[in-house]
Structure 1
Amino acid sequence: MEKTIFEKIGGEFERQGDYLIPRLDLPPEKEQPIGVFGRRHLDYLKQYHKVTYTNLLTSGRLNTYLADINRQAQERFERLIEGMKQAQGITERLKEENALEWTKRMNNVRACAREIVNEEIIYA
């Protein structure tokens, strides 16, 4: 019997009952930790961009891509927080004098920065 195209390129079949099922293995990928932003983007890809998700997964680049998105988002998040802190006058002195006010302002700054990062990087 003549070999199939799949067998010619080095593919193997696995017998399951009366059927031959191609054995598909994903290419090895370097494991990199992905954080909160990377996981959010992963959920976004799975839900709204299934083709992009599948292409990244089958090419073995998904983890690297998500780690890069996470790094970019984290850097942008930190830069935004620093800029907003300076613009609003949130200092260590305020933290010493009125910790509750400092906490309130910092939570507001973090929430605003998180929304900006989500719009610019995660859900874009």
Structure 2
Amino acid sequence: MCEQCVKEFYPNSTRQRFCNTDYTKVHQQAEALFSRLVKQLSEKEGVTEALKAENQMLWVQRMNNIRSAAMEIVSSELIYC
């Protein structure tokens, strides 16, 4: 439902609860998807605790890349859709 429709059909107090509920739901979905993607991508890329022990800087670089990629996916699928 578009924001203008929500403003027209719901009083302010109801609209606030509606928006908070939607935000909370999307936020929870985004966090779950982000965590799942980071785990899957790190396994796929071979970014393990062994790599972390051997070469911390390389591990940090790869994890930052993975986290950025996961955030882009979450943003495009849930936030900007």
So what's the TM-score if we normalise by structure 1?
0.56
1:65 paired to 2:22: yes
- Which residue number corresponds to residue 100 of structure 1? 57
**Any stretches of 5+ residues in structure 2 without a counterpart?**
none
**Alignment: residue pair count:** 76
Larger radius of gyration: 1
Is the Cα contact below 8 Å between 1:81 and 1:113 reproduced in 2? yes
**Separation in structure 2 between the aligned mates of residue 90 and residue 61 of structure 1, nearest angstrom:** 40
Q: What is the aligned-residue identity percentage?
A: 36
**Any stretches of 5+ residues in structure 1 without a counterpart?**
1-48
**Separation in structure 2 between the aligned mates of residue 51 and residue 83 of structure 1, nearest angstrom:** 39
The alignment yields a C-alpha RMSD, in angstroms, of: 1.9
Structure with a larger share of its residues in helix: 2
So what's the TM-score if we normalise by structure 2?
0.83
CA-to-aligned-CA distance 1:35-69 (integer Å, 9 cap, x gap): xxxxxxxxxxxxxx542664678333111110110
Select the structure with the greater relative contact order (CA < 8 A; seq sep ≥ 6): 2
**Separation in structure 1 between the aligned mates of residue 33 and residue 65 of structure 2, nearest angstrom:** 17
